[in-house]
Amino acid sequence: MRLKPITHNTLSYEVVEQVMGMIQAGGLKVGDKLPSERLLSEQLKVGRSSVREAMKTMQGLGLINRSTSGTIICEPEITPEKLGISSRHTEISEVIETRSLIEIQAAGLAAERAKPEDIAKLEKALEGFDLIEDLETYSSRDKAFHKAIVDASHNSILTCVYQLISVLLFKTHNYHSLLFQNHIVSEEETMTSRNITMEEHKKILEGIRSHDAQSASEAVKNHLNRVAESLLEKMERT
């Protein structure tokens, strides 16, 4: 994954977002050294001050360590273990609760602020969504749809926070995969769940596309509640 120039009015969070994207995609790993502020500034086409502010943000979160020898990628401080998550039921409930706090509000804002390109991004994320068989691809597309909702809110801080903790917010996908791989959930159940998710995603999209904030927020709320109930019920079988 290569860094791409930021061509619109930039904020330091966009620098953070691109660097975090490289870490999550495997382009940068723990222990790797980041390019200098000067090189990052040149590659991203932003001012040194924006890069410097982004580095301060990432250092504050424990994502990097800055010293005279350079800037090194670190293990993030925000981890399930450090948050004291001790049981799967607690984890599922808290993940959905946190996503609800962010995504319900984001959907309402997206309905009010979404531009044509935001709608197109949401539509693209849903193309053939219910036909995907590969678990990893399905998970990736699901994350892309929900991130597109938050992006469409056009709240830079909300988007940055969501990106930084997305690994935690979608940790429940790991449970879905394990349940399927260990034959606790059948292929038929999985496909039924995906079809329901597709319909729920369509309702969210329609709420945003029609600029109906209440409808979009309600659709997200219903979707996340259903996901939580369904997953907890399946976990009871283990």
DSSP string over 150-206: HHTTT-HHHHHHHHHTHHHHTTHHHHHHHHHHTTSS-HHHHHHHHHHHHHHHHHHHH
d(CA 124, CA 144): 10
- Choose among 190, 156, 196: nearest CA to 175: 190
CATH number for the segment(s) 12-73: 1.10.10.10
Top-confidence residue, 33 or 220 = 220
d(CA 85, CA 80): 6
Convert the pLDDT of each residue in 169-199 to its tens digit: 887 777 777 677 667 788 888 888 889 999 9
d(CA 226, CA 203): 14
d(CA 110, CA 150): 7
224 Cβ neighbours under 8 A, 6+ residues apart: 96, 99, 100, 103, 104
Q: Which residue has the tokens 């907890």?
A: 232
pLDDT at 4: 53
Domain boundaries, the chain: 12-73, 88-235
Considering the chain, what percentage of its residues have pLDDT values greater than 90?
A: 33
Considering the chain, what is the average pLDDT of its residues? Answer: 82
> What does the pLDDT average to over 136-150?
89
d(CA 204, CA 104): 10
pLDDT at 113: 97
Show the tokens assigned to 177.
Answer: 């995969």
Top-confidence residue, 55 or 217 = 217
CATH number for the segment(s) 88-235: 1.20.120.530
Q: Is 152 left (phi over 0), alpha (psi -120 to 50) or beta?
A: alpha
d(CA 146, CA 122): 8
Show the tokens assigned to 11.
Answer: 């904020």
d(CA 137, CA 235): 23
Helix ranges restricted to H, 45-181: 48-60, 88-113, 116-126, 135-151, 156-164, 166-169, 172-181
pLDDT of 89 above 80: no
Its pTM surpasses 0.75 = no
pLDDT at 25: 63
